[in-house]
Chains A and B, each alone.
Chain A
Amino acid sequence: DIQMTQSPASLSASLGETVSIECLASEDIYNNLAWYQQKPGKSPQFLIYYASSLQDGVPSRFSGSGSGTQYSLKINSLESEDAATYFCLQDSEYPWTFGGGTKLELK
């Protein structure tokens, strides 16, 4: 199985700041990576597919990048509504595997 190591597990940032969340795959996943946002008590919401393609309606302050085994989600100009837990998911090979999640707190 492909292991997805997500970091950091949590981070705290201020409004207006820029943050990055990383996902490291145990082998090449050929950009087959998606990002999801989950707010407390809610179901996950889809943000990005194929590493860098933004879902319609997702604010442009979200961006994804990476290749091979290393991928990142960047959030520019943090807003209060961005407080959430973020997960990556590799869909390169079955079984699909999620990263452990990053809890983003706004100061």
Chain B
Amino acid sequence: QVTLKESGPGILQPSQTLSLTCTFSGFSLSTYGMGVGWIRQPSGKGLEWLANIWWDDDKYYNPSLKNRLTISKDTSNNQAFLKITNVDTADTATYYCARLNYYSGAHWFAYWGQGTLVTVSS
């Protein structure tokens, strides 16, 4: 059974660095074709893809966040991480991690965590 769970600070102040952890089970990030992605959703709004990390440590970022993102993984402990530097109120959202599948050129977010709400406020 695949599960993912996000954890984060809940609330932080503008200009701080947001650190998110995705702890998962039921798969390994060292297995070919596996990946973890991060997606966020401001309250009442749509979804925004942020970053992906793959089994081979390939990483991809959304350039709209202007180099503020860093994604990483700890394969031994079944965790993936996302850091966002210099946050402001526009980063207030629910942050999801999701397991990525890759097969024959297609990719998809097969399983999602429950999400963690992050509020940026002074």
Interface size on B, residues (CB 8 A): 24
Would you give the shortest CB distance from A44 to chain B, in whole angstroms? 6
- Which B residues are in CB contact (< 8 Å) with A89? 47, 49, 108-109
Q: Tell me whether chain B's interface is mostly helix, strand or loop, or mixed.
A: strand
Task: Count contacts between A and B, CB distance < 8 Å.
Answer: 61
- Which B residues are in CB contact (< 8 Å) with A95? 49, 60-64
Does any Cβ of B come within 8 Å of A82's Cβ?
Answer: no
Interface string of B108-122 (1 = CB under 8 A from A): 111111110000000
Q: Tell me whether chain A's interface is mostly helix, strand or loop, or mixed.
A: loop
Chain A positions near chain B (C-beta within 8 angstroms): 1, 31-32, 34, 36, 43-46, 49-50, 53, 55, 87, 89, 91, 94-101
Q: Look across to chain A and name the residue whose beta carbon is closest to the beta carbon of B97.
A: A43
B47 CB contact (under 8 Å) in A32, A87, A91: A87
A94 to B110, CA, bound (A): 18
Q: Look across to chain B and name the residue whose beta carbon is closest to the beta carbon of A51.
A: B106
Does any Cβ of A come within 8 Å of B48's Cβ?
Answer: yes
* Cβ A55 vs Cβ B110 within 8 A: yes
